[in-house]
Structure 1
Amino acid sequence: MDGSYTEGTHTAVCGKRQQFGSRFLSDPALVFHHNAWDSVEWSEEQAAAAERKVQENSTQRVCQEKQVDYEINANKYWNDFYKIHENGFFKDRHWLFTEFPELAPSQNQNHLKDLLSENKGSEVPACRSSEDESGLIIEAQHSCSSVSHGHKTQPSPVEENVTQKLRHLEICADEFPGSSATYRILEVGCGVGNTVFPILQTNNDPRLFVYCCDFSSTAVELVQTNSAYDPSRCFAFVHDLCDEDKSYPVPGDSLDVIILIFVLSAIIPDKMQKAINRLSRLLKPGGMMLLRDYGRYDMAQLRFKKGQCLSENFYVRGDGTRVYFFTQDELDALFTTAGLEKVQNLVDRRLQVNRGKQLTMYRVWIQCKYRKPLLSSTS
């Protein structure tokens, strides 16, 4: 294992987890006094050395035949990973509640209500339809336009047909898992539930419903057979983030939060934008997409050997799973192109320490929060 699976965790101090950026190394002589240090600045020499290392390990690319295999059989490689490690590899991500308070439903619902109240005068009428659900956007907009201008013309047969289809969609929407919930969270790439179960255990609000999906059927089975899995509060399903033909089991504009934790980096870069676009359509106006993933020049990227590079900053591990290393600008472009507004886009540079072996490891992660705009009169 090359170590690139290691995730961003936060050191407990006096029993309380702190946000990154709160523990600084002012005296290098004290480096082994703690397990990790926050916001570690790199010297010009260190940054240059990291760039040289990446250039070096990228000179030899994986042959095209193998690249095709890694793409076509990606689910096999991840299934094999979870068959070997089951639920003993990753730790539960309790740090998420510090970095992403949006995972506390009651708090975020109040915030959303405030936003809606502030924008109430500029919102469009509730005749907005979802283009990814109905495919009838032109006719639906025409129907809404007539109503909003007070016209009481007799509906045409085409409009009646559109109305019937839209009503059918509304009925279907009432039948999806968690349809009675008032706060809905989806985690994409849930693995064995290291995010989902802490959310369910922390929040007892009966109005909360959590969806979780993974590319690996083995991982989803491990979630469903976990003693903490409650079908009345959670729905786990197999889903390929890159499959454009397979829909999610929820209607558009229905989710409050979508979580992407070390998952976007696992897919081929050319497919990332469309994947984010599809997810964006599932968010409610004001809903948030939360991401934490690998940053450029993270220790894991520097450890790759020649012959493991698939394309620029995209690598394959020894077990056949893949990983990409992002910059802030790349992620900002993905989210804003999908129509989301930036709330947060931070680099978390940390120095992790193995005090037993007297080793230092420089980690680089990126943390993002992007919000779907509230409806406006110009939309």
Structure 2
Amino acid sequence: MPPTDASKERARRQQLSKGMEHMRFAVTVDPIRNPSTPDLPTETYGVPHSFEPPRKPANRLDDPSNNQKRTDPFQFGSRLLEEGDDIFEFNAWDHVETDDAYKEFSQLQYQKQRESPVSDFEKRRINSNPEKFWDLFYKQKTTNFFKNRKWLAQEFPIISSLVSSPEPTLVLEVGAGAGNTAFPILALNQNPNFKIHACDFSKKAVELIRDNEAYDERFIRADVWDVTSETETLPPGIKASSVDIVMMIFIFSALSPSQWDQAIRNIHSALKPGGQVLFRDYGRGDLAQVRFKKGRWMEENFYVRGDGTRVYFFEKDELEEIWSGKRHDRLDAETLAENVETLNIGLDGEKATAEEPSPQLTNPSNPRPKFEIVNIGVDRRMLVNRQRKLKMYRCWMQAVFRKSDDSQPSDEPGREPKKEVIDDTNNIE
């Protein structure tokens, strides 16, 4: 018996979970047939079949150009979606810009998110003790939530060099979680002098790493450490300027924007001159951001998930500004301009005079660290679910930042501060 209209409607609605139903028009590929050619297959992502049939190469998987390893990790794949392609030929496509429906839906979502923000009380509760929520997360999910990141050596070739070289190497992983980054790297290791110091501010996460059967203190050490700490600026057992590589995989987004400055200070302190930060995180417009509904927006591009953990979504220019120090220079300039304007107006409305700006605006004795931008890119992909006829736009940021060789040790946290420094306004959250 052919399916009834009611059963077709039920099947259509089973495409999406209840939490995603509001975004149907932006993420589903509806089986629309062309009335003029009812016998032809449904239209695909590209040109309608009435104008051009879907392209079906002999076997794109066997094309040598698609099988070769990338010489440039920041190329982010070469499977490009072209007009006439069958969207469901593969599970994912590289470098796909969002379509008009998704862009329209995104803007509507952002507006609704801002109109229903997290309450001030909830915001204080969440920001005052973020490690509590990650403890609960790892207590519930244990090691089963995140997949092992076996792609790290592909995206960051320096890892392959370090694990195959006999040179002594110290890697600091910030936000190590349950070890889904550290243990895949150790599985590749052939270097007897290679060691990972895996740190997380969640005690439960550190316990999971230590309980792993692959945990061997000759090559890995796990400790509780908050990268945003102003008192314990270095992890236990780590000396200033001793780390070769800092791994930051989906951790910077879990910090409040007010914590970025201190986190970068501490990372800069740990790295050797010439040391690198390997960075991957969420990008602006990722489906994970767009699908947030009411009561999750804390500030622009910064959200709280249902489990109390936080997440920020970055743009390329923004990341470059943050890590190069340009953001601080801009904020200082804006603060200075506001300060001077206030002084000029005066309390009684008359012009006031000021020889110099407030000393709190600048602090040359405590300079902000700046990193060189070795590489930074945007990884845009469209993932598809063939059975449920869904398209999902994902966006990730990937970067390599480098501590300059001429970094002076005087700005390293942990050293004795100069006596003339009486305040530090740069570390206020």
Query: Aligning the two structures, in what range does the TM-score lie when normalised by the shorter sequence?
Result: 0.7 to 0.9
Determine helix, strand or coil for the equivalent of 2:86.
Answer: helix
Q: Distance in 2 between matches of 1:28 and 1:55?
A: 34
C-alpha distance 197-28 of structure 1, shift in aligned 2 (>3 A): farther
The one-letter code matched in structure 1 to 2:284 is: R
Report the CA distance between 1:306 and its aligned residue: 1.6
Task: Select the structure with the greater relative contact order (CA < 8 A; seq sep ≥ 6).
Answer: 1
Change (3 A) 1:92 1:107: closer
- Residue of structure 2 aligned with 1:343, choices 374, 377, 380: 374
> 1:102, 1:70 → 2: CA distance?
36
Tell me whether 15-24 or 36-45 shows the greater mean CA deviation.
Answer: 15-24
How big is the shift at 1:329? 1.7
Q: What's the offset of the Cα at 1:42? A: 3.0
- 1:46 deviates by 4.2
The size of the alignment, in residue pairs, is 299
Question: C-alpha distance in 1, partners of 2:163/2:225?
Answer: 30
Match of 1:51 among 104, 107, 111: 107
Shift of 1:334: 1.8
The answer to whether the 8 A contact 1:215-1:238 is kept is yes
Q: Residue 104 of structure 1 aligns to a residue in which SS?
A: helix
CA contact (8 A) 2:380 2:396 kept: yes
Supply the distance in 1 between the matched residues of 2:319 and 2:394 (Cα, whole angstroms): 18
Q: CA deviation at 1:50?
A: 2.2
For the pair shown, which has the larger CA radius of gyration, 1 or 2? 2
Deviation at 1:321?
A: 0.6
CA 1:17–1:236 in structure 2 vs 1: closer, same or farther (change >3 Å)?
farther
Out of 72, 87, 92, which is 1:31 matched to?
Answer: 87
**Range moving further from structure 2, 71-80 or 216-225:** 71-80
**Alpha-carbon distance in 2 for matches of 1:303, 1:109:** 44
Identity of aligned residues (%): 42
Deviation digits for residues 326-369 of structure 1 (CA, Å, limit 9, x no counterpart): 11122112211231101111011110112221111000111011
The equivalent position to 2:390 in structure 1, one of 352, 359, 366, is 359
1:190-201 superposed matches below 5 A: 190-201=176-187
TM-score, normalised to structure 2, is 0.65
Match for residue 300 of structure 2?
312
1:268-347 aligned within 5 A: 268-337=256-325, 338-347=369-378
Q: Does 1:73 align with 2:112?
A: no
1:250-272 C-alpha deviation (Å, 9 max, x unpaired): 11111111011111111111111
| Pair 1:253-2:241 in alignment | yes
Q: How many Å apart are 1:27 and its aligned residue?
A: 4.0
2:119 is matched with: 63
Alignment partners' CA distance in 2, 1:73 and 1:339: 28
Contact 1:17 1:95 (C-alpha < 8 Å) held by counterparts: no
1:213 corresponds to 2:203: no
SS at match of 2:115: coil
Distance 1:106 1:270, change over 3 A: closer
Q: Which amino acid aligns with 2:212?
A: N
Contact 1:102 1:257 in 2 (8 A): no
Report the alpha carbon displacement of residue 71 of structure 1 after superposing the two structures with TM. 1.4
State the distance in 1 between where 2:258 and 2:165 align. 35
Deviation at 1:273?
Answer: 1.8
Which of the residues 242, 249, 257 maps onto 2:228? 242
TM-score, reference length from structure 1: 0.73
Alignment of 1:138-153 (within 5 A): none
Deviations 1:41-83 (CA, angstroms, capped at 9, x unpaired) = 2346644542332222222111111111111231121111111
Read off the aligned partner of 1:68 and give its amino acid letter: R
Secondary structure in structure 1 of the residue aligned to 2:143: coil
Deviation, 1:375, is: 2.8
Q: Aligned with 1:58: secondary structure?
A: helix
Measure the CA separation in 1 of the matches of 2:267 and 2:84.
Answer: 44
